[in-house]
Chains A and B, each alone.
Chain A
Amino acid sequence: MFKYKSPLSRLLEGAGKTEEKDAAESVAPTEETAEPIADFNALRQALAGGNATSETYEESDELMPEEKMPDFAEEAAVETPEDVAEEPVEQPLQEDHQTDTQNVESSPEAPAEDDPVVTLRLGTEDSVGVVDETPEAPTAEAEEPALAAPIEDAAPAEEVAEAAPTPAAAPATDRRARVKTTFLGFERADTHVQDMMESAEPVSKTETAQETFPVGWLVVTAGPGRGASITLTEGLMQIGRNDDQAIQLDFGDTGISRENHAVIAYDPEDRKCYLGHGGKANLVRLNGKPVLSTIALTNGDLIRISETSIRFMSFCDDGFDWRDS
């Protein structure tokens, strides 16, 4: 996909023609797992020992942890011919971000791709790097739930996990996957936190840090748009599909009215959010019951509009209100 066409990828494609895809893609995951500093080291090494590449490449497919460095070596080596020290040194940083964002998105998509298994593998590894579940799923099942709970990426990772066992065609990719697996294997217990930290990076990127003064949130838990979240603020917020709606639910559920299907409003007096229907032709259910008048929302309430289920999470309540300070 277009995501793979990162500057570094293109660089690599130009250089290592035979393995271009593998190489291009492999860089992303590998680097992204490792911390930036590790990347630099890797790159430095790679730049230093550019020759070793092709052999390590093949062998490493079947080999385990130590091959990690050679990986970099090989890939970076591919770069070396074209670009000298400068470029690569800069790239890794960018790459980190790029690949990170990929992880989030590309992992679920990956299985769908027709492209060579290679691409498939990419998705796998990406998520491996970030979420850290894929490799463990087969190895240590016990740990998976614990991880799945805290990390939101759980869902994608599971999907990936399914994909992971299947392929394995491209040797190059195999190697990469293993590198990570074993890497995690070394310090499984501790890496959870570390991996969470790493996975947190892309999240902070996608969400623009704004002062929204939230009073609560809505999270779509089922139906079109599952996984989306919406910040609730003060004032009357209409729910509808149109883009002028404060709570826009335009994920493909056409059973939702264009505008004013339902409303949510925060009442600073009693520090509660209220849910009401938008008109006599629009039905919204709260915890299974039709909403016929304005009802106070409590944390965890389930709102259903058409085929879309939304969970309400409160922020402002008896314990906190923005007026407090």
Chain B
Amino acid sequence: MLATPAYDIALILNQGQRDSQEDAVAARTFDAVDAGYIAVADGMGGHEAGEVASELVINAWRDALDDELDVETLSERSLVDALPLAAMQANASIASHNEEQGLGFNMGSTLLGVLLLGHRVYWISIGDSPFYLFRDGALSQMNEDHSMAPAIDAQVAQGTLTEEQARAHPDRNQLTSVVMGGAIPKVDCPEEPLNLSAADIVVLGSDGLQTLTDSEIQDVLAEHQNALAQDIADALLQAVLAKAKPDQDNLTIAVAKPNKS
């Protein structure tokens, strides 16, 4: 029997208007065990440190997950445990890298890791890389946003800030949790998975994708929901580029659809 890939996955990495690409992304499917993963890391730190940080995070993720998934029969429990263990490993490698560079050297990265297991979706998220679910025409962000953005948006809701002020708020991209070799104050890693249905679309990104508002992303997905993952990803990229934002951040887009079987 030929194993059909369980998921249709597309990845796009775009540098935007920045001098370097500090985002990193990885995906892999394991058809034998009906599983797959996508990981996004958005690095930060001067002097190319951001690139190093995001790469360390992606490497730690792959090491932890590949070991669990390159097997005949997988143990769901230890596989699910591998998500936070990957984060701990990533944090440890960043810590030791910082140590090698000497005092005062700092770098960090977000980690958004999604594990697809049949129709179940587990994730771990540290930082502000968004994880969206498009279902029945509606887009919702599934993971916590570990930046000041939620607090700023709350002020809009209270009426102390206008929507315009909030969008341009200087602290908007200030992170409240990140993988940087120290304490990780917040982690979003639910024990219970999200159950995916056949028509769902999963979208991961770096915050560069949020040049588009959620409703703009939703519009693009609604328009292309029956297209292949790569076409959906490309449509999102075009929508971001169409904004022609002068300081467009590094941009990562990952789209996954369960293959109809």
Contacts and interface: CB of A to CB of B under 8 A. Distances in A.
Contact of B85 (A283, A288, A293): A283
Nearest to A283: B81
B192 to A, nearest CB: 8
Interface in A59-73: none
Nearest to B190: A288
A288 B87 CA distance: 16
Contacts of B164: none
Nearest to A285: B191
A293 B184 CA distance: 6
A292 B88 contact: yes
Nearest to A292: B184
A280 B124 CA distance: 16
A281 B189 contact: no
A232 B91 CA distance: 29
A6 B234 CA distance: 82
A168 to B, nearest CB: 44
A292 B146 CA distance: 15
A121 interface: no
Given A280-B92, A283-B81, A292 B87 contact: yes
A290 interface: yes
Contacts, number: 36
B46 interface: no
Nearest to A287: B191
Contact of B187 (A280, A281, A289, A294): A289
- Of the four ranges (under 10, 10 to 19, 20 to 34, 35 or more), the interface on chain A belongs to 10 to 19
A288 B183 contact: no
B92 A290 contact: no
B89 interface: yes
Given A280-B92, A294-B183, A289 B189 contact: yes
A281 B92 CA distance: 11
A280 B88 CA distance: 5
B185 A290 contact: no
B84 interface: yes
Interface in A267-320: 277, 280-281, 283, 285, 288-290, 292-294
Contact of A283 (B84, B91, B126): B84
A277 B88 contact: yes
B66 to A, nearest CB: 16
Contacts of B187: 289-290, 292
Nearest to A279: B88
A272 to B, nearest CB: 15
Contacts of B191: 285, 288
Contacts of A283: 81, 84-85, 88
Nearest to B187: A292
Interface string B61-96: 000000000000000000001011101110110000
Contacts of B88: 277, 280-281, 283, 292
Interface string A247-283: 0000000000000000000000000000001001101
Contacts of A288: 190-191
B190 A292 contact: no
Contacts of A290: 83-84, 87, 124, 187, 189
A285 B187 CA distance: 11
B68 to A, nearest CB: 13
Nearest to A293: B183
Interface centre among A277, A281, A292, A294 (most CB of B within 10 A): A292
Nearest to B84: A290
A169 to B, nearest CB: 45
What 9 A-B pairs are tightest by C-beta distance, nearest first?
Answer: A290-B84, A293-B183, A292-B184, A280-B88, A280-B92, A288-B191, A293-B184, A283-B81, A292-B187
Given A283-B85, A288-B190, A290-B84, 14 more contacts: A280-B85, A280-B88, A283-B88, A289-B187, A290-B83, A290-B87, A290-B189, A292-B84, A292-B126, A292-B183, A292-B184, A293-B182, A293-B183, A293-B185
25 contacts: A277-B88, A280-B85, A280-B89, A280-B92, A281-B85, A281-B88, A283-B81, A283-B84, A283-B85, A288-B190, A288-B191, A289-B189, A290-B83, A290-B84, A290-B87, A290-B124, A292-B84, A292-B87, A292-B91, A292-B183, A292-B187, A293-B182, A293-B183, A293-B184, A293-B185
